[in-house]
Amino acid sequence: MALMALFRLLRPGTPGIGQRLSAVPRMILATLRREYDGAARLGMIALSVVYLLSPLDFVADAVFLIVGVIGDAALITWVVGALMDETERFLEWEGRQERVGNRTRTNGRVTHRRAIGNSY
């Protein structure tokens, strides 16, 4: 799945890397606000990055040498692919939210529209 996301990145008509990377802060914020349902997937990506940067991974690489490095390469491929897949999913979700009309985008920030009219 993650490797397929890397291949989809090159497909015409899909969001580019810049658009996807600029969506990451919005995606995290929408997830923290519980507007977007990506908490589990973003949590797995974050845990994988923390593991890759942790001393525990360096010990595993020292003990298992080549196998550890190959494992790291596979995990990095998964992280990048999963992040690209999740940003594509988020951008589609964001587009649906804008089309529904209950949200509006101003200067890259998504806010709720206020109802206009008489209230009884």
- The 10 Å Cβ neighbour count of residue 120 is 3
Burial (CB count <10 Å: 0-12, 13-18, 19+), residue 86: buried
Are 115 and 35 in contact, with CB atoms under 8 Å apart?
Answer: no
> Which of 89, 11, 105 lies closest to 45 in space, CA to CA?
89
Predicted pLDDT at 4: 72
pLDDT along the chain (120 residues), means of 10: 67 85 95 94 96 89 88 93 93 89 54 44
Look at residue 115 in the predicted model and tell me its pLDDT.
40
What distance in Å separates the CA atoms of residue 86 and residue 84, rounded to the nearest whole number? 5
Domain boundaries, the chain: 38-98
Q: Full-prediction pTM beyond 0.75?
A: no
